[in-house]
């Protein structure tokens, strides 16, 4: 039974690792947190090694002290179960805990993400610590939510996993004959005659069967999920009223977050855009995380106040960018703006990671001042912003299993990367000022006017039906090359590509030509415009569909490249190739026009200005974000808006400085 989080304020705080500092620092920490407008601290994420010193040896004294200081200072708690990294003595005592890597080599102690998800000793010890934490602090008045472990990930290939994998496969397939058929083990005569012959796909073993590889990923994602659930059960039993999260990592390949999300009370994630990330790349990930729990508000659990030590170049976030990106998260549904971490570590690997407080500990530093200013600002506006839901009628379909299927594929092109295709299409829509949800193909699609499914190679049962129903009802659907190739076990459809989507799209894709990295074909659109295209060029046979663009070069010059097929009340578009940005926008505009999708309040925005709308019972808020390093002007509809941040009335024109943000309400 889940808990509905109902935070009293926009969370502003982050990771706090007091155990790395002497006790003298803790009072100063609380004083500075207050100055920084922090209302929450996350700890002890990596506390295990300093809490449990032996099988029956515990030391909670330091944590008790820290928690009291925070509580006295008015700082609430995001309490970690502390199981994110095992202490040396545990790995030494219970070597079954250490996972085996993809080369088949067992790890030694050290680092994070080192435990096998099927280790019984890890299960016993981690739930043991979670129990201690819940029993000791579960009724503490400062406790706001639980944070299980940290950034789950990494795959294990040990014998414990092998055994569990075989059991998992027996349940999934029932018989070896069925498994042999689904994975096509007759290929290279690799047919199994006994379950015991199945091994995890380590690098010098069986890597030639996508069915096996994808299932191993499913199994490992589920295994870590079960590891998380084991701690969750402890917490739910002892503190049924406290909401629970674990921090996700956006487009993180190994974990199928769609499977994890239903068990969490609130989604949280760690956003670390690269130095040169585009606004739409960040927006895509926020939208994906928001879509995990049906649009429910979520937490920005970690962002760096300034630098990331593990990037190639630790560039500074420019003045205003941390604030801008914080509001971008809120614009996409976040009710929490949190940082990693409070104070720069005095040593070890993250010594140079950005932090609110630098080594010098000074509050007159630029970064500290920006954090403090944002804290104060959020405190002023949080009553209005809390709880709204992002309004959109566009859905992008995103599927982890499809990601694996696309990228385990041998062919058609080394440049075909699922996230890259997703980003390219998403950013074209972003340019048009449209916000989209990014959701599972298995989610309820009935509310959407436009559904986009890039490179949907794997079409699982029910998905084609659900898309068709939406299009039947008037929605537009857009899909691309390398869609409708295989079923859920990655066996090819033998009724012609794009398989179960063929009748919806009114086409047959006979073959697909891969273009080398710098190669281009041309597109001639029916409105006479011209574009370039790249990556793949499908040779499409029309079976009812109409071509809206044709190739201009090579032996398939003049053949259909992009098609549309009216279906029910709606229409289905097929991109047989990857158009350039102008071409993509042209197709999106057609689909938008047909399906009646509109921009928030109909406001048209300049390049790299983002606009979203969040709606709550208090009304509607427009978030307008200027991602440009120069001032912009936005023309508003002819009604009065109030700017929430500076409490000013805005008419006709909104002027935003470089990296500026406005939150507008019509409640003037």
Given the complex with its own copies, which of 86 and 296 has the nearer CB atom? 86
Smallest gap from residue 91 Cβ to its own copies (A): 8
- Of 622-651, which residues contact its own copies (CB under 8 A)? none
User: Applying CB under 8 A, what is the total number of residues that bind its own copies?
Assistant: 112
Q: Which residues contact 503 (CB under 8 A, 6 or more apart)?
A: none
Euclidean distance between CA atoms 614 and 598, whole angstroms: 15
- Of 521-550, which residues contact its own copies (CB under 8 A)? 539
Instruction: Give φ, ψ of 472 to 5 degrees.
Output: -50, -40
| Of positions 189, 528, 638, 653, contacts its own copies by CB under 8 A | 189
Given the complex with its own copies, which of 355 and 644 has the nearer CB atom? 355
| Of positions 3, 229, 238, 365, contacts its own copies by CB under 8 A | 365
| Of positions 121, 131, 314, 532, contacts its own copies by CB under 8 A | 314
- Of 396-435, which residues contact its own copies (CB under 8 A)? 409-415
365-388 core/surface letters (b: 16 or more CB in 10 A; e: else): bebbebbbebbebbeebbebbbbb
- Of 124-183, which residues contact its own copies (CB under 8 A)? 182-183
Q: Residue 476: which of 595, 585, 396, 597 has the closest Cα?
A: 595
**382 a catalytic residue:** no
User: Long-range contacts for 131-138 (Cβ within 8 Å, ≥24 apart)?
Assistant: 131/234, 131/238, 132/51, 132/52, 132/58, 132/60, 133/79, 133/81, 133/82, 134/234, 134/235, 134/238, 134/239, 135/238, 136/60, 137/67, 137/77, 137/79, 138/235, 138/238, 138/239, 138/242
- C-alpha distances in angstroms, 98 versus 1, 128, 341? 33, 18, 27
- The half-sphere exposure of 599 on its side-chain side, counting CA atoms within 13 A, is 19
- Of 248-277, which residues contact its own copies (CB under 8 A)? 275
| Of positions 1, 56, 171, 194, contacts its own copies by CB under 8 A | 194
Smallest gap from residue 78 Cβ to its own copies (A): 17
| Of positions 171, 241, 313, 528, contacts its own copies by CB under 8 A | 313
Euclidean distance between CA atoms 210 and 455, whole angstroms: 17
Smallest gap from residue 490 Cβ to its own copies (A): 6
Smallest gap from residue 497 Cβ to its own copies (A): 7
Smallest gap from residue 543 Cβ to its own copies (A): 12
Euclidean distance between CA atoms 151 and 257, whole angstroms: 12
Q: Residue 209: which of 523, 489, 505, 584 has the closest Cα?
A: 489
Smallest gap from residue 48 Cβ to its own copies (A): 5
Instruction: Give φ, ψ of 221 to 5 degrees.
Output: -60, -45
- Of 46-65, which residues contact its own copies (CB under 8 A)? 46-50, 53-54
Residue 557 is a binding residue for its own copies (CB under 8 A) = no
- Rounded to 10°, the helix 120-137/210-238 angle is 30
CB 381 within 8 A of CB 645: yes
Q: What is the DSSP string of 246-275?
A: -EE-SS-TT--HHHHGGG-SS-EEE----T
| Of positions 350, 363, 580, 608, contacts its own copies by CB under 8 A | 350
Smallest gap from residue 6 Cβ to its own copies (A): 32
From the candidates 151, 154, 382, 613, which is the catalytic residue?
A: 151
| Of positions 68, 294, 465, 510, contacts its own copies by CB under 8 A | 510
Which DSSP state fits 500?
G
**613 a catalytic residue:** no
| Of positions 127, 271, 306, 427, contacts its own copies by CB under 8 A | 306
Binding part of the chain for its own copies, among 195-203, 246-254, 419-427, 643-651 by CB under 8 A, reads: 195-203
Given the complex with its own copies, which of 60 and 192 has the nearer CB atom? 192
| Of positions 72, 92, 139, 446, contacts its own copies by CB under 8 A | 92
Binding part of the chain for its own copies, among 244-252, 365-373, 438-446, 579-587 by CB under 8 A, reads: 365-373
Binding part of the chain for its own copies, among 13-21, 236-244, 325-333, 605-613 by CB under 8 A, reads: 13-21
Given the complex with its own copies, which of 178 and 444 has the nearer CB atom? 178
| Of positions 65, 175, 446, 495, contacts its own copies by CB under 8 A | 495
From the candidates 222, 302, 382, 559, which is the catalytic residue?
A: 302
The secondary element (H helix, E strand) that includes residue 24 is helix 23-35
| Of positions 2, 3, 71, 89, contacts its own copies by CB under 8 A | 89
Q: Which residues are known catalytic residues?
A: 151, 302
């Amino acid at each position: 039974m889940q808990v509905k989080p109902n935070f009293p304020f926009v969370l502003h705080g982050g990771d706090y690792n007091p155990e790395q500092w002497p006790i003298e620092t803790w009072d100063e920490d609380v004083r500075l947190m207050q100055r920084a407008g922090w209302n929450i601290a996350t700890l002890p994420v990596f506390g295990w090694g300093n809490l449990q010193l032996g099988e029956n040896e515990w030391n909670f004294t330091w944590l008790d002290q820290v928690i009291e200081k925070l509580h006295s200072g008015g700082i609430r708690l995001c309490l970690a179960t502390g199981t994110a990294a095992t202490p040396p003595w545990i790995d030494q005592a219970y070597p079954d805990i250490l996972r085996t890597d993809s080369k088949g080599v067992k790890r030694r102690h050290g680092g994070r993400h080192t435990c096998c998800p099927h280790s019984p000793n890890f299960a016993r010890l981690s739930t043991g610590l979670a129990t201690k934490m819940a029993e000791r602090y579960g009724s503490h008045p400062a406790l706001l939510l639980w944070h299980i472990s940290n950034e789950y990930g990494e795959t294990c290939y040990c014998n414990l996993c092998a055994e569990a994998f075989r059991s998992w496969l027996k349940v999934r397939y029932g018989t070896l004959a069925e498994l042999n058929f689904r994975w096509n083990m007759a290929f290279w005569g690799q047919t199994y005659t006994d379950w015991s012959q199945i091994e995890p796909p380590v690098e010098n073993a069986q890597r030639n069967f996508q069915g096996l590889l994808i299932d191993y990923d499913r199994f490992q994602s589920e295994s870590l999920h079960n590891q998380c659930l084991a701690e969750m059960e402890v917490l739910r039993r002892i503190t049924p009223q406290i909401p629970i999260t674990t921090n996700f990592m956006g487009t993180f390949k190994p974990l199928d977050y769609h499977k994890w999300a239903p068990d969490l009370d609130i989604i949280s994630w760690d956003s670390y855009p690269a130095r040169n990330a585009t606004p739409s790349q960040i927006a895509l990930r926020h939208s994906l995380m928001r879509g995990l729990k049906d649009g429910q508000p979520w937490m920005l659990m970690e962002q760096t106040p300034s630098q990331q030590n593990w990037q190639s170049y630790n560039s500074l976030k420019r003045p205003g960018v941390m604030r801008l990106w914080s509001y971008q998260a809120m614009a996409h549904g976040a009710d929490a703006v949190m940082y990693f971490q409070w104070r720069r570590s005095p040593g070890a690997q993250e010594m140079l990671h950005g932090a609110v407080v630098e080594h010098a500990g000074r509050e007159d530093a630029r970064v500290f001042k920006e954090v403090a200013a944002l804290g104060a600002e959020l405190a002023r506006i949080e009553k209005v912003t809390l709880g709204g839901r992002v309004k959109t009628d566009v859905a992008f379909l995103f599927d982890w299993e499809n990601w694996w299927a696309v990228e385990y594929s041998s062919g058609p092109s080394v440049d075909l990367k699922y996230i890259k295709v997703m980003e390219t299409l998403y950013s074209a829509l972003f340019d048009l000022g449209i916000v989209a949800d990014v959701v599972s193909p298995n989610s309820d699609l009935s509310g959407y006017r436009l559904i986009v499914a890039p490179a949907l190679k794997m079409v699982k049962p029910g998905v084609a039906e659900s898309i068709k129903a939406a299009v039947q009802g008037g929605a537009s659907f857009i899909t691309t090359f390398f869609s409708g190739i295989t079923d859920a076990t990655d066996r090819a459809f033998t009724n012609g590509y794009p398989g179960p989507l063929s009748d919806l799209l009114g086409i047959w894709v006979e073959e697909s030509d891969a273009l080398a990295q710098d190669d281009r074909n041309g597109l001639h659109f029916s409105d006479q415009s011209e574009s370039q295209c790249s990556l793949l060029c499908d040779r499409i046979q029309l079976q009812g569909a109409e071509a809206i663009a044709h190739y201009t070069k090579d032996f398939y010059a003049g053949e259909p490249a992009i098609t549309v097929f009216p279906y029910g009340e709606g229409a289905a578009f097929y991109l047989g190739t990857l158009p350039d940005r102008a071409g993509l926008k042209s197709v999106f505009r057609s689909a938008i026009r047909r399906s009646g999708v509109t921009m928030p309040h109909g406001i048209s925005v300049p390049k790299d200005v983002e606009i979203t709308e969040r709606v709550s019972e208090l009304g509607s808020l427009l978030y307008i974000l200027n991602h440009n390093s120069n001032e912009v002007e936005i023309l508003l509809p002819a009604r009065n808006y109030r700017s929430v941040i500076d409490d000013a009335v805005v008419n006709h024109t909104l002027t935003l400085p470089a990296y500026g943000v406005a939150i507008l309400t019509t409640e003037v």
